[in-house]
Amino acid sequence: MAAVVNDAVYYLEGFKLFSLKMGRYKIMEELAKSVFVTSVIEKIDTKDTNIRSLGIGSSKGDIESIFTKQLSNHFGKLENTVIEPAEEAIEEYKRLTAKNDWSNVDYSWFNGTFQQFKEHREKEENAPKYHHISSIDTVYYIDNPADDILTMYNMLEKGGILMIMLISDENSYYRLERRFHGIMPIRYFTCSDVLAVCQENQFQFERYHHECTADITEFISSDDHPREKKVTIDYLTQTVDFKESVSESLYNEVIDYIKSSDFSSKSYDGKILLRNDFDVIFIQKKC
């Protein structure tokens, strides 16, 4: 079965659909103005007014730029490196930056995976370290999350902060993957896994938890929106053409599970509310 993440255009279609359903952009804007300021900007321990940031799996930049704006507002100059494997997403990100009036932000672009970026850095002499690194919903797609978190940590300047945003253990995506782990082409790394890495390595960290839901009833319980229904199910299972790739009985079993209380929170009027709780882990490198 083909993984959604390997089809950049289709992945972005699913990501956009779910982001709109969950009001993701508004949530990120509020987080950037509050938690991000107190947990990153006010705590980066540096005397430099010019800082370097690194975005891992930045997609088309619409989420990451919300946080970049806050950094640009508080520091004199920002050198922002973007890692993104999808060329189409990078082109969209570049168009987005052209609209922003941030004269103190310089961008550099790496069209590739985090693994490829690591290999590229190994060939560099005096590879730069970063005051801030962000990994927003990307640890599920890197080769070895536990080891790569250590790599990210080692890329930080002393006093720098790594921000990892990922699904919580209560998230519906994780429940679905755990229930059907044998057929889904993804293994979700959750907050508990990151916290275990932090504790094992005695990292200094903070955790922020956010609860949210998305009403997906119209895309699951009716056929009025066939394209959205297909994208929804494929994105939830992380499988392109999921219905066509499995038996009818297995497909129906997955749909029944999505409609059940084990997967979703039910409202008083019977709506299917996908739980999209997420956590943000802020890891600071000791000076």
pLDDT tens track, the chain, 287 positions: 889 988 988 988 998 888 888 888 999 999 999 999 999 999 999 999 999 999 999 999 999 999 999 999 999 999 999 999 989 999 999 999 999 888 999 999 999 999 999 999 999 989 999 999 999 999 988 878 999 999 999 999 999 999 999 999 989 999 999 999 888 888 888 999 999 999 999 999 999 999 998 888 888 887 878 899 999 999 999 999 999 999 999 999 999 999 888 888 766 577 888 999 999 999 999 98
Nearest to 172 by CA among 13, 21, 5, 8: 21
Residue 82's nearest CA partner among 118, 113, 58, 104 is 58
Question: What is the torsional sign of CA 175, 9, 102, 161?
Answer: positive
DSSP assignment of 113-148, as one string? Answer: -HHHHHHHHHTSTT---EEEEEEES-TTSSS-HHHH
- Spatial CB neighbours of 104, under 8 Å, sequence gap ≥ 6: 72, 75, 76, 77, 78
Q: In the prediction, which pLDDT does 191 show?
A: 93
- CA 149 to each of CA 41, 134, 145, 193: distance values in angstroms, whole numbers, following the listed order: 21, 11, 6, 11
- Which residues are within 8 A (CB) of 15 and not within 5 positions of it... i.e. 6 or more apart? 59, 235
pLDDT at 266: 65
Q: Note the pLDDT of residue 267.
A: 60
Grouping H, G, I as helix, E, B as strand and the rest as coil, residue 65 is helix
What is the distance between the alpha carbons of residues 47 and 137, in angstroms, rounded to a whole number? 30
Question: Helices (H) and strands (E) in the chain — how many of each?
Answer: 13, 10
Query: What pLDDT does residue 29 have?
Result: 95
Give residue 109's identity as a one-letter amino acid code.
W
User: Token digits for 116?
Assistant: 């490829």
Give the pLDDT confidence score for residue 22 in this predicted structure.
Answer: 85
Give burial (CB, 10 Å; 0-12/13-18/19+) of 226.
exposed
**In angstroms, rounded to a whole number, what is the distance separating the alpha carbons of residues 203 and 285?**
7
Instruction: Pull the structure tokens for residue 50.
Output: 């010019």
